[in-house]
Amino acid sequence: MQIGTSLTHCLIKKQQAHPDASGEFTLLMNDIVSACKVISSYVNKGNLIGILGSAETENIQGETQKKLDIISNDVFTDTLMQGTQVAALASEEMDEVYHLPANAKRGKYLCVYDPLDGSSNIDVNVTVGTIFSVLRAPEGVENPSEQDFLQPPGTEQVAAGYCIYGPSTIMVLTTGEGVNGFTLDMDIGEFKLTHPNITIPEDTKEFAINMSNQRFWDAPVKRYIDECLIGKEGPRGKDFNMRWVASMVAEVHRILTRGGVFLYPIDSKIRAQGGKLRLMYEANPMAMIIEQAGGMAITGPERILDIKPHKLHQRVPVILGSKNEVQVLSDYHKA
C-alpha cells in the first residue's frame, strides 16, 4: 500500500484479498476507528470542556477513574454495540462482561479493551492511548460469558491494535499479517497510512522500567538492569539509555519506531496479584503487535501469547521489545 492511502481503503483492500470475507470484520474495524476518532477529539479538548481530573470513582482494579476513563469507555462501548458486529464486550473500566440489550443485533466478534491506557498522565498532558483486542464470539450464544472471552490463548486473537493520542493521533493495527500505522489527518478526519510494515530493530540500547521498584525485583531482572547500568565496561559491552513514560502505549510505540525493551516484571510487591499489567487488554494485544513486527513478548519464563487466560482482569508480568534483547532476559530467567 502507498503512503497516504486511507485506512478505510486499506481495510477494504484487505477484505477483497479474502474472497470468503463477509465484510463484517471491516465494519467492526470501522467502528473501532470511529470510536478512536471521538476519543482523540475529547483527549485533545481536555480542560476546554472540563473533562480532566478524577471522576471520584474506582474501577475493579481499585484504581481511581479519571473522567476521561469513563467517557472513553462509554464511547468505545456504545459505538461497538451500535455497530452490531460484536456479541459482547469487556473493558478495564467495566467489572463484568458487557451484554448487549436484548433487542440489539449480535455480530460474530468479541472485543476487549483498555479505553484510555496511561490515564494517570492525562492531567499532565502526557501521551495516552486506547488498546484493543478482537476475538471470535462463540457461535449461537446470545450472551457470551467471561469464559467465552477466556477460551483461546492470545495466539487466537483475530486482530489487535492501539490508538496513541500524542503529538499525532496514530492507529497501529495487526490482523496477523504484519503491522501498519495510520496517522489521523485532523483537517479531514481521515487516518492515512504513514508507517507501512513496521519492523522492530532486533537490537537496542534503550530499556524502559519503573526503577522505583528496583528493591522488589527478582534476580533475573536485577541482573539484567545492573548490567545495563554498568554499560560498556561490563558484560553487555555497550552503554544503555533509559525511558519511562508510565503509559504502555507510548512505550510500545517508541519501541515499534526505534527499538527498545519494556519491562513491567513480577516483583515481591505485586507477586500475589500476578503482575501489574492486564493480560486480556494490555499484554495480549501488545504482544501480538510486537511479535507481528518481529519482536518478542514474554512474562520472563514464558511467551505471553501462549498463556491460557483464567480471569478477565488477570494480571501478568510483561517484558517485550527488540528480539535479541528480550532473548537475553529470557535466557536469564532460565539460568
Interacting residue ranges for ligand P6P, rule: CB under 6 A: 117-118, 120, 210, 246-248, 264, 276-277
Q: Cβ closer to ligand P6P: 169 or 247?
A: 247
CB of 26 vs ligand P6P, minimal distance in Å: 29
CB of 69 vs ligand P6P, minimal distance in Å: 10
User: Residue 12 to residues 7, 33, 84, 287: CA-CA distances in angstroms?
Assistant: 9, 14, 18, 25
Q: Cβ closer to ligand P6P: 118 or 265?
A: 118
Rounded to whole angstroms, the Cα distance separating 308 from 302 reads: 12
Contact present, 202 and 324 (Cβ < 8 Å): yes
Rounded to whole angstroms, the Cα distance separating 329 from 335 reads: 10
CB of 64 vs ligand P6P, minimal distance in Å: 11
CB of 212 vs ligand P6P, minimal distance in Å: 8
Q: Cβ closer to ligand P6P: 37 or 254?
A: 254
Q: Cβ closer to ligand P6P: 238 or 271?
A: 271
CB of 209 vs ligand P6P, minimal distance in Å: 9
Q: Cβ closer to ligand P6P: 6 or 120?
A: 120
CB of 264 vs ligand P6P, minimal distance in Å: 6
Rounded to whole angstroms, the Cα distance separating 309 from 315 reads: 10
Cite the DSSP H helix spans in the chain: 7-16, 24-45, 67-83, 146-150, 219-230, 248-258, 284-292, 323-334
CB of 70 vs ligand P6P, minimal distance in Å: 15
Q: Which residue has the cell 487488554?
A: 281
Residue 313 has which C-alpha cell?
482482569
CB of 246 vs ligand P6P, minimal distance in Å: 4
CB of 277 vs ligand P6P, minimal distance in Å: 6
User: Residue 7 to residues 81, 161, 180, 182, 198: CA-CA distances in angstroms?
Assistant: 22, 13, 10, 7, 15
Burial class (CB in 10 A: 0-12, 13-18, 19+), 49: exposed
Q: Cβ closer to ligand P6P: 240 or 264?
A: 264
Rounded to whole angstroms, the Cα distance separating 278 from 274 reads: 9
Contact present, 305 and 291 (Cβ < 8 Å): yes
Q: Cβ closer to ligand P6P: 93 or 117?
A: 117
**What is the enclosing helix (H) or strand (E) of 112?**
strand 109-117
Q: Cβ closer to ligand P6P: 5 or 213?
A: 213
Q: Cβ closer to ligand P6P: 15 or 121?
A: 121
Residue 284 has which C-alpha cell?
495480549
Q: How far apart are the first and last CA of the chain?
A: 44
